[in-house]
Amino acid sequence: MSDPVNDNHAPKPSLWPIGFAIGVACLLVGLVISWIVAAIGAGIAILCGLLWAREVTREVRGEVPEIEPETRVVADVAAPAAEEEELPMYTRSRFLEATTLGLGAAVGAVITLPVLGFMVLPSFTDVEKHDVDLGPIRNFPNGEFVIATFLANPTIGEVSRRTAFVRYNGPDPKGQPSFTILYSRCVHLGCPVQPNGPIDEKAKKQVGDVTLRPVLAQSFGCPCHGGQYNSEGNRTAGPPVRSMDRFEYSIKNGRLILGSVYAVGNVTGNGATATISKYPWSTPGTHVNGIEAWLYPIVPSQVTG
Amino acid sequence: MATTVPRRRKVKPRRQKLVEQAVLAPLDWVDERTAFVKGTKWFLFRHVPRDVSWLQTLGSATLTAFIVQALTGAILAMYYQPSAAIDPQTGKPVAYSSIQSITNDVTLGWLVRGMHRWGASVFIILLFLHMGRVFLFGAYKYPRELTWITGVLLLATGMLMGFTGYLLPWDQTAYWATAVGINLNGTAPFLGPWLAQFLAGGPEIGNYTLAKFYAIHMLLLPGAIFALIGVHIYLVTRLGVTSPPWSKEEAGRDRPPKVPTGRRAGLVRPSGDGDGARPGLVRSGGSGGAS
């Protein structure tokens, strides 16, 4: 080990990282407050970061050495001798080395890429979506929530059991039956949201694989981290970042058919006349509106968890 | 060769010599081919600062905890079945039923599962204590930066072990904790939702998730941890142990000169017991004349 006193392994002290940190903090605050603050923060961070990198790498880059101008006469006698030095040769061993490495890399890629694809792709492909028949709409009393549990994918079994809170709102302004169908998965981190009220177990109904249980609740709460939602699925307390997800639905032959799940930024109004800001489904805990949604530009399209 | 033998050395009884040769001859045979003795001495017989304390043993305690995890885990895998299908006998998922059977039916299963379950917490706690010791002693500084970096990677793989292992009992706590954990990963910017869906392996946390977490827990991560521990320990052996910050010893001082001893000195017999006089590899009968 060399003498630690004479070795200088730490960069010299510098003030630029402090400016860089201030810039990053300013940028993050700006993301919440305003565009201008974020832009200023980004500018400070980039400027101080560059200056920091410049200072740290000064010794590595080194000062440009002053080269003495060449004063040789044109017909230098030493020049022909230098040309007789060994020429750079592309030898057999170097060729073999390159081909071995190249072929090895090619063989490695041919083996690795399909394996990597096999590891990653099945999670995103061949995703089946099933519509679920919740039975005749007369099973859903006006203005009351019914807990519907069903298997989203019967071939997978119980792990695909999902819960929706279904409320019949009466006819909408166009005269069509209107439903509010909230998905029970908490939009904080995906725990099962519970209705804040007693379940009427006596009025339980079974429609095929679907279980319907009326509940006297006009709000919902999550047992994991205390998120609370009102009867429209808007957050009233706790950590959720958007309103509860909802199911698309259609009515065929007087039966309520559940479609896919979509994310909701916010709901204004209620029941049949509610205005829903609708977004493609997104992972629990991710914003779908506002500037934070920019952090999740492309989201795979299936419901996880 | 035998001209400078000290007079005080006792002549060994013949039987002891025979026993020694019986022990040492195979050792020599292996050592001649592998340099195993040299390597062992390089690994174990190191100079250590005079003022080290029990605090410097936290690293080897963590290693011991990991070895316990590896052994109990390998044995648990002989009884555990990672399947979310319903067991027709119990009417409950196979994974859950197999854990129940390990805990309640298999002889001493409760003990080994308990060791693995609580040992996981012990491992993580020791990791953090070890990390705190290294940080507070400044032992991460030059030339040990890479040791620290591999240690951080070990911490990350250790936490991943905890995350993937937590799902395996397949009970309500395991299921929903993993749902929350996967969705936590899902909130990472840009690639988070993709990572979450990759971890879940599909639309639900189900059979694929369980099998994937089991494979990661049983194969991928242990391999990574073994490799990282190898690098970590190599670096510790190569660079030595730091003095504590309050040490009065001057840092970077020269080591005491090496006492010339033989290749096995101190390994089997007390150091300096005649081995130094016999540097040759082959122990012929004639070399016994030194004593």
Question: Does any domain span residue B131?
Answer: yes
A191 neighbourhood in chain B, CB within 8 Å: 176, 179-180
Which one of A7, A159, A242 would you mutate to disrupt binding with B, by most B Cβ within 10 Å of its Cβ?
A: A159
Structurally, how many domains does chain A consist of?
2
Virtual torsion, Cα B154, B158, B163, B164, nearest 10 deg:
90
A30 and A156: one domain?
no
Contact B193 A127 (CB under 8 A): no
A244 and A162: one domain?
yes
Contact A305 B194 (CB under 8 A): no
Distance CA(A186)–CA(A222), nearest Å, equals: 7
Q: Using alpha carbons only, what angle is made at residue B87 by residues B83 and B90, rounded to the nearest 5 degrees? A: 135
Distance CA(A66)–CA(A68), nearest Å, equals: 6
Strand partners, A275: A268
Distance CA(A253)–CA(A251), nearest Å, equals: 7
Is residue A164 predicted with pLDDT exceeding 50?
yes
End-to-end CA distance of chain B: 11
Chain A residues 134-153 with CB within 8 Å of chain B: 152-153
Distance CA(B218)–CA(B230), nearest Å, equals: 18
B180 neighbourhood in chain A, CB within 8 Å: 189-191, 224
Structurally, how many domains does chain B consist of?
1
A89-98, B58-67, B84-93: lowest mean pLDDT where? A89-98
Is residue B271 predicted with pLDDT exceeding 50?
no
The alpha-carbon gap from A98 to the nearest alpha carbon of chain B, in Å, equals: 29
A276 and A142: one domain?
yes
Q: What is the pLDDT of residue B283?
A: 41
Chain B residues within 8 Å of chain A (Cβ atoms): 84-86, 93, 142-143, 176, 179-180, 182-184, 186-187, 189-190, 192-194, 196-198, 200-208, 251-252
* Averaged pLDDT of chain B: 85
Question: Does any domain span residue A5?
Answer: no
The pLDDT tens digits of the residues spanning B101-145 come to 999 999 999 999 999 999 999 999 999 999 999 999 999 998 899
Average pLDDT score over residue span B38-51: 86
What's A263's domain CATH number? 2.102.10.10
B238: closest CA among B10, B13, B47? B47
A68-77, A129-138, B68-77: lowest mean pLDDT where? A68-77
Tokens of B270: 């007390």
Q: For residues B48 and A246, which has the higher predicted lDDT (pLDDT)?
A: A246
Which residue carries 């869906």 as its tokens?
B197
Are the C-beta atoms of B243 and B232 separated by less than 8 Å?
A: no
Is residue A264 predicted with pLDDT exceeding 50?
yes
The alpha-carbon gap from B185 to the nearest alpha carbon of chain A, in Å, equals: 10
| Dihedral (CA of A155, A160, A163, A168) sign | negative
A24-28, A136-140, A229-233, B10-14: lowest mean pLDDT where? B10-14
Which one of A123, A128, A151, A191 would you mutate to disrupt binding with B, by most B Cβ within 10 Å of its Cβ?
A: A123
Contact A5 B176 (CB under 8 A): no
What's B227's domain CATH number? 1.20.810.10
Question: Does any domain span residue A186?
Answer: yes
Question: Does any domain span residue A148?
Answer: yes
Work out the pLDDT band at B276, boundaries 50, 70, 90: very low
Q: What is the pLDDT of residue A63?
A: 59
Which one of B178, B197, B255 would you mutate to disrupt binding with A, by most A Cβ within 10 Å of its Cβ?
A: B197
Question: Does any domain span residue B28?
Answer: no
Question: Does any domain span residue B81?
Answer: yes
Work out the pLDDT band at A32, boundaries 50, 70, 90: confident
A291 neighbourhood in chain B, CB within 8 Å: none
* Averaged pLDDT of chain A: 86
Question: Does any domain span residue B245?
Answer: no
What is the chain B residue with the closest CA to A129? B203
Question: Does any domain span residue B175?
Answer: yes
Average pLDDT score over residue span A33-50: 92
What is the chain A residue with the closest CA to B145? A9
| DSSP 8-state code for residue B254 | P
What is the chain A residue with the closest CA to B238? A1
Distance CA(A257)–CA(B161), nearest Å, equals: 42
Which one of B90, B97, B204, B208 would you mutate to disrupt binding with A, by most A Cβ within 10 Å of its Cβ?
A: B204
Question: Does any domain span residue A96?
Answer: no
Cis geometry, peptide bond prior to residue A240 (ω within 30 degrees of 0): no
Nearest beta carbon to residue A284 from set B176, B183, B207: B183
Question: Does any domain span residue A147?
Answer: yes
Work out the pLDDT band at B97, boundaries 50, 70, 90: very high
Contact A152 B203 (CB under 8 A): yes
Close Cβ partners of A242 (under 8 Å, ≥ 6 residues apart): A187, A235, A263, A264, A265, A266, A287, A288, A289
Nearest beta carbon to residue B176 from set A224, A302, A304: A224
Which residues form the domain of B158? 56-239
Is residue B4 predicted with pLDDT exceeding 60?
no
| DSSP 8-state code for residue B257 | P
A148 and A247: one domain?
yes
Question: Does any domain span residue B210?
Answer: yes
Question: Does any domain span residue A278?
Answer: yes
Question: Does any domain span residue B268?
Answer: no
Residue A300, φ and ψ in degrees, nearest 5: -60, 150
The pLDDT tens digits of the residues spanning A90-109 come to 788 889 999 999 999 999 99
Average pLDDT score over residue span B144-171: 96
The rounded Cα A111 to chain-centroid distance in angstroms is: 30
A36 and A175: one domain?
no
What is the chain A residue with the closest CA to B93? A158
Work out the pLDDT band at A257, boundaries 50, 70, 90: very high
Q: For residues B51 and A179, which has the higher predicted lDDT (pLDDT)?
A: A179
A192 and A278: one domain?
yes
Work out the pLDDT band at A299, boundaries 50, 70, 90: confident
Question: Does any domain span residue B77?
Answer: yes
Tokens of A88: 């750079």
Q: For residues A304 and B224, which has the higher predicted lDDT (pLDDT)?
A: B224
Q: What is the pLDDT of residue A8?
A: 59
Work out the pLDDT band at B9, boundaries 50, 70, 90: low
Distance CA(A22)–CA(B52), nearest Å, equals: 41
Is residue A5 predicted with pLDDT exceeding 60?
no
Count the Cβ atoms, other than its own, within 10 Å of residue B176: 18
B177 neighbourhood in chain A, CB within 8 Å: none
Is residue B270 predicted with pLDDT exceeding 90?
no
A67-76, A149-158, B30-39: lowest mean pLDDT where? A67-76
Contact A192 B176 (CB under 8 A): yes
Is residue B2 predicted with pLDDT exceeding 80?
no
Contact B197 A153 (CB under 8 A): no
Which residue carries 């006089």 as its tokens?
B277
Residue A180, φ and ψ in degrees, nearest 5: -110, 115
Are the C-beta atoms of A196 and A220 separated by less than 8 Å?
A: yes
Please name the amino acid found at residue B229. Answer: I
Nearest beta carbon to residue B183 from set A7, A124, A190: A190
Question: Does any domain span residue A140?
Answer: yes
Which residues form the domain of A264? 132-295
Helices (H), chain B: 14-34, 36-44, 58-76, 94-104, 109-136, 145-167, 172-186, 192-200, 207-215, 221-239
| DSSP 8-state code for residue B50 | T
A182 and A290: one domain?
yes
Count the Cβ atoms, other than its own, within 10 Å of residue B115: 18
Are the C-beta atoms of B117 and B103 separated by less than 8 Å?
A: no
A139 and A25: one domain?
no
Full DSSP string of chain A: ---TTT---SPPP-SHHHHHHHHHHHHHHHHHS-HHHHHHHHHHHHHHHHHHHHHHTHHHH-PPPPPPPP---SS-TTHHHHHTSPPP---HHHHHHHHHHHHHHHHHHHHHHHHHHHHHGGGTSS-----EEEEEGGGS-BT-EEEEEEES-TTT-GGGEEEEEEEEEEE-TTSSEEEEEEESB-TTT-PBPEESS-B-GGG-EEETTEEEEEE--SEEE-TTT--EEETTS-EEESS--SEEEEEEEEEETTEEEEEEEEEEEEEES-GGG-EEEEE----TT--SSSGGGGG-SS--SS---
Close Cβ partners of B289 (under 8 Å, ≥ 6 residues apart): B1, B2
Share of chain B above pLDDT 70, in %: 82
Work out the pLDDT band at B51, boundaries 50, 70, 90: confident
Distance CA(A273)–CA(B249), nearest Å, equals: 80
Q: What is the pLDDT of residue B247?
A: 83
Question: Does any domain span residue A93?
Answer: no
Strand partners, A136: A255
Q: What is the pLDDT of residue B275?
A: 42
Distance CA(A128)–CA(A155), nearest Å, equals: 11
